[in-house]
Structure 1
Amino acid sequence: MVSRFNIKADLDNNRDSSTVSIKENRSGPMPRMSHPGIRSNKLSKQLSTNLLMKSTLFHSDNLACMNYLLRHGFENKINLVYIDPPFLSGEHYFHRVENDNNPAFEDVWKINKYLEMMHQRLSEIRKLISPDGSIFIHLDWHAAHYVKVMSDQIFGSENFRNEIVVKRGRRKNLQYQFNSIDRMHAAYDTLLWYSKSANTKFALPITENRSESKWMGFWSNVDRPTMRYEIFGFKPTRGQWKWAKERAINAIDNYRLYEEKFSEITLEEYWQATGKKLEFVRKRPGVKYAEYWIPPKTHRIIDNVWLDIEAYNYSTGYGTEKHAQLLERIIGQFSKPGDLVADFFCGSGTTLQVASKLRRRWIGCDSSPAAISVVKRRLKEGGSTSSQYTLLEM
């Protein structure tokens, strides 16, 4: 059944920000939206335009939020979705708000109810994702296998891109040394990555990864006679040199020139000053073999095992807070500045804070007052003022 809403909007004089209260009304005819001096259809159009152009935080049930977005022009509009739904873990999570321990949310579900909840929301999310967009679903061992089968049905198995493993990290807990166990510690979470279309291509994901330059042996035990030639007065009788003769001779000349005229600077500095294109081969000191120079690396290609970052951070005290590094990788690699990013289980607001930092528009949603309180504080600390996003309360 489609929910019916009575909407009251309080817009400031400059139209820079808005707080919209939306109260659900499940009976009677659809009420007309009203605002002093603004016709209902004009208000609806204004709200839709405002939501598309700015970032929006929904304090509501996320299914109601998705339905609202679909009615207000967001079908096929969201470029990237990250969600961190309940894990089916049976845990209760608490966050301190105004000196009281209030449950931020409860991850206590029966499996059939959990799957029904996820199916409803993933089906609506698919409608919202743009044709070239994608979704990352963050889970762990409790439910990842169930949701994978469901997501193949909803998004299409041909649109499944990767299962990504993310290191959890671990809270310091002295009880670990005393406890017996019924299973091994879970060290990773799972990200399920789906695209809207199988034809969409994504940029090759890379990350910073500084490594030092080094010298390596130029000889290989692969036996290719055509790659055996004389350098430095030595010709191997077995194996081969790494490169063809002309390339090796050029690299030898490059290193000799460096030694003769530029040795007052490091080889790495010389390599950088000459455009990072030169190769170098030299005689290994003290032996007859040659060696070649491997330049420093500043980046590496990201695969689907993310052990260099952690899934969790606990800076806000929110029990399931995700690490900014995780969202920086997802948002930075799989969306562009100006894109629209959504998190319908936004919790402590890491997705929204990172999206703002990376100059993406965002949509966040959570039904927990504790979560909304944390999100508003984090956005303020990150430099986002209330005029830069709209708060909608349902």
Structure 2
Amino acid sequence: MENQLFYGDNLDVLRRHIKDDSIDLCYIDPPFNSKRNYNQIYNNIGKEDQAQAQAFIDTWTWDDYANQGLAEILENYQGKFTSQSIDLIAGLTKVLSKGSLLAYLIHITLRVVEIHRVLKPTGSFYLHCVPTASHYLKLILDTIFCSQGGDFRNEIIWCYRGGGSPKKDFGRRHDVILRYSKTNEYEFNKNAIRIPYQAEGIGRKDDAMWGKHKGTNKVYKPHPLGKIPEDWWLMNILNANDPERLGYPTQKPEELLERIIKVSSNEGDVVLDAYCGCGTTVAVSQRLNRQWIGIDITYQSISLILKRLEDSFGKGVLEQLKLNGIPKDLEAAVALANKKDDRTRKEFEKWAVLTYTNNRAIINAKKGADKGIDGIAYFQGDKDEPEKIIVQVKSGKVQSGDIRDLQGTITLEQAALGIFISLKEPTKDMIKTAKSAGIYQSRYMNQSSDKIQIVTIKEMLEQKKRLDVRLSLEVVKSAEKQMEVKGKQLELDI
């Protein structure tokens, strides 16, 4: 099986593309509005979040999707839901009423039912969550797994340090990971995750000593590989200077996923992450020789994962990867541009920017007026200082005035170059206006470049047209590589 990365709604992907009994291990870290306090969630306050972009923002509101999901559960859509799940959601609807928390729980119920279906009988499931919702989520998982021959195995507490201290509360320094098995015949590779005695900072002084079981003459001695970890795991979160850090707000350390993947799967097994975010699960699965399937609804995440895999394992890893849901022809691009769903209405722009820049640009978060900027990239200028590239995307009607507006934005932002990506074919006046902006030349460029470049989606798809400028990060990496080579040569000379 090829490793697969899906761009789209994980419920749709699970239902349409993932076969029954095909997954050995599933880990998910679904978004949750952890920035809101518990009472606000419970009382459905915080409607100001509704207008924010979906990408990287864990927010929930009661909308048509929640109504549809509730109907599917209560009406037992295609016979997928257990009577316990139906009764639980019906009861929670009375207790919580139709608001953000219930919308979140319905979202999770729909997807965990599909995850249970695709797990092999020997499969395991891990759900990563915050304490404000873990008690509700455990009830939901019990009704799905325990009622069908599976079982609850552990409530794992991931403990970490850092952050400020609240004035009137104990500091919140843990996440919850709920572990379930589909049957009692599940994988648990205990020797793969043993740790040294007292390795996690807490333990009796005699942990590693020989001794007798109390009340017996039976002698025990510590295992030479160490002990099996308890259900609390002391692992640091990623700090700002950590080399793993990718800038993704909910990024988890590879150490955490490594333990989960090692204990509940073997080499060659299939690992699924249905909310793969910045790709920690798929990156660790790749390193540990597991097959994997990743799903995410935002193209920023897909782009970040592709770049992470390429940086970690080389470009060859992308050639062995099957990408699904990403526009491969003009018809698919038009369909993406015309989506009515508010959650994905900006996805066309993100896809266009990141695809054209080979996943190197920074997406404009669009908080407030976007000033005509959909993406920004930086390249090395002649003065060895970063120069800015402004990227703008249009899916509707275009005209020469759009190019003049972009030219004004370039001046305002003190940028060197502007890229205008259009779904429609540009007019002759647009091309003429772009040409009149002049050219830019840098010693880092193979040839001079138009200061304003017009690129069509058709050219991107059919001619594979991409930004032909070495961006700052690539120049730095090249310099670091040269220093590494020189260092090795010096070692040889010595």
Q: TM-score if structure 2 supplies the norm length?
A: 0.47
C-alpha separation in 1, matches of 2:289 and 2:299: 26
Superposition map of 1:74-85 within 5 A = 74-85=19-30
Q: Determine the structure 1 residue equivalent to 2:56.
A: 105
Q: 1:336–1:184: structure 2 CA closer, same or farther, 3 Å change rule? A: same
2:321 — aligned with what? Answer: 389
Per the alignment, residue 11 of structure 2 pairs with 63
Compared CA separation, residues 181 and 124, structure 1 to 2 (3 A): same
Q: Secondary structure at the match of 1:341?
A: strand
Q: Equivalent of 1:350, from 272, 280, 297?
A: 280
Alignment CA distance shift 1:210-1:145 (3 Å): closer
Q: Report the equivalent of 1:195.
A: 181
Cα distance, 1:305–1:210 mapped onto 2, change above 3 Å: closer
> Which residue, out of 83, 108, 125, partners 1:135?
125
1:106-141, CA deviations, whole angstroms, 9 ceiling, x for partnerless residues?
212201101110000000111110110011000111
2:56 aligned partner, one-letter code: F
Q: CA deviation at 1:347?
A: 0.6
1:119 aligned onto 2:46: no
Tell me the distance in 1 between the aligned counterparts of 2:14 and 2:168. Answer: 40
Aligned length: 256
Q: Tell me: CA distance 1:122–1:311, structure 2 relative to 1, closer, same or farther (3 Å).
A: farther
Given residue 188 of structure 2, which amino acid in structure 1 is its aligned partner?
F
Higher helix share: 2
Unaligned residue ranges in structure 1 (runs of 5+):
1-52, 92-100, 228-241, 244-293
Aligned ranges for residues 292-331 of structure 1 at < 5 Å?
297-307=224-234, 309-310=235-236, 312=238, 315-331=245-261
What SS class does the counterpart of residue 107 from structure 2 fall into? helix
TM-superposed CA distance for 1:203, in Å, is: 3.1
- The CA distance in 1 between the partners of 2:194 and 2:211, in whole Å, is 31
Q: Give the whole-Å Cα distance in 2 for the aligned partners of 1:218 and 1:339.
A: 37
Letter in 1 for 2:103: K
Say if 2:97 is the partner of 1:167. no
Rg larger in 1 or in 2?
A: 1
CA contact (8 A) 2:161 2:237 kept: yes
The 3 A distance-change label for structure 1 pair 151 and 327 is same
Judged with a 3 Å threshold, the aligned counterparts in structure 2 of structure 1 residues 299 and 390 are, in CA distance, closer, same or farther, namely same
Does the Cα contact within 8 Å between 1:69 and 1:75 map onto a contact in 2? Answer: no
The one-letter amino acid of 1:207's match is R
Q: What CA distance in whole angstroms lies between the structure 1 residues aligned with 2:198 and 2:127?
A: 32
The residue that corresponds to 1:281 in the other structure is none
Distance verdict in 2 for CA 1:112–1:300, change over 3 Å: same
Residues of 1 paired with 2:299 and 2:195: CA distance?
37
Q: Distance in 1 between matches of 2:125 and 2:313?
A: 27
| Contact 1:211 1:296 (C-alpha < 8 Å) held by counterparts | no
Percentage of identical aligned residues? 34
Q: CA deviation at 1:202?
A: 2.5
CA contact under 8 A between 1:135 and 1:193: conserved in structure 2?
Answer: yes
* Greater share of strand: 1
- 1:235-314 matched pairs, under 5 angstroms: 297-307=224-234, 309-310=235-236, 312=238
Output the CA distance in 1 between the equivalents of 2:222 and 2:8.
Answer: 53
Amino acid at match of 2:32: F
Distance in 2 between residues matched to 1:218 and 1:118, nearest whole Å = 47
Is the contact made by 1:60 and 1:366 (CA closer than 8 Å) also made in structure 2? yes
1:98 is aligned to none
Ranges in structure 2 where 5+ consecutive residues have no aligned partner: 37-51, 61-99, 200-204, 327-494
Residue aligning to 2:268: 338
Find the residue that maps to 1:115 and give its secondary structure: helix
Moved more, 341-350 or 153-162: 153-162
Deviations 1:151-181 (A, max 9, x none): 000111651111111113435xxxx37xx53
Letter in 1 for 2:321: Y
Mark the CA change 1:203 to 1:66 in structure 2 (over 3 Å): closer, same or farther.
same
Task: Rate the CA distance shift 1:387–1:156 in 2: closer, same or farther, 3 A.
Answer: same
Q: 1:257 matched to which residue of 2?
A: none
Give the corresponding residue for 1:184. 170
Residue 390 of structure 1 and its aligned partner are, at CA, apart by 1.0
Aligned-partner Cα distance in 2 for 1:217–1:359: 36
Q: Name the counterpart of 2:34.
A: 89
Q: How does 1:40-55 map to 2 (within 5 A)?
A: 53-55=1-3
Partners of 2:210 and 2:188 lie apart in 1 by 36
- TM-score, normalised via structure 1 length: 0.58
Instruction: Check the 8 A contact 1:211/1:298 in 2, yes or no.
Output: no
Offset, 1:374: 1.3
CA distance in 2, matches of 1:69, 1:325: 30
Q: CA deviation at 1:182?
A: 4.3
Secondary structure at the aligned position of 1:299 is classed as coil
Q: Distance in 2 between matches of 1:198 and 1:353?
A: 29
Change (3 A) 1:154 1:381: same
Amino acid at match of 2:236: E
d(CA) in 1 for partners of 2:186, 2:246: 37
The letter for the 2-side match of 1:387 is: E
In the other structure, the counterpart of 1:144 is 134
Contact 1:310 1:326 in 2 (8 A): no
For residues 209 and 11 of structure 2, the distance between their equivalents in structure 1, rounded to whole angstroms, comes to: 61
Contact conserved, 2:187 with 2:265, CA < 8 A, in 1? Answer: no
Q: CA deviation at 1:210?
A: 7.0
CA distance in 1, matches of 2:311, 2:154: 34
CA gap 1:355/1:151 in 2 versus in 1, 3 angstroms: same
For the residues of structure 2 that align with 1:161 and 1:153, how far apart are their CA atoms? 14
Asked whether the equivalents of residues 59 and 372 of structure 1 are also in contact (C-alpha less than 8 Å), the reply is yes
Higher relative contact order (CA 8 A, sep 6+): 1
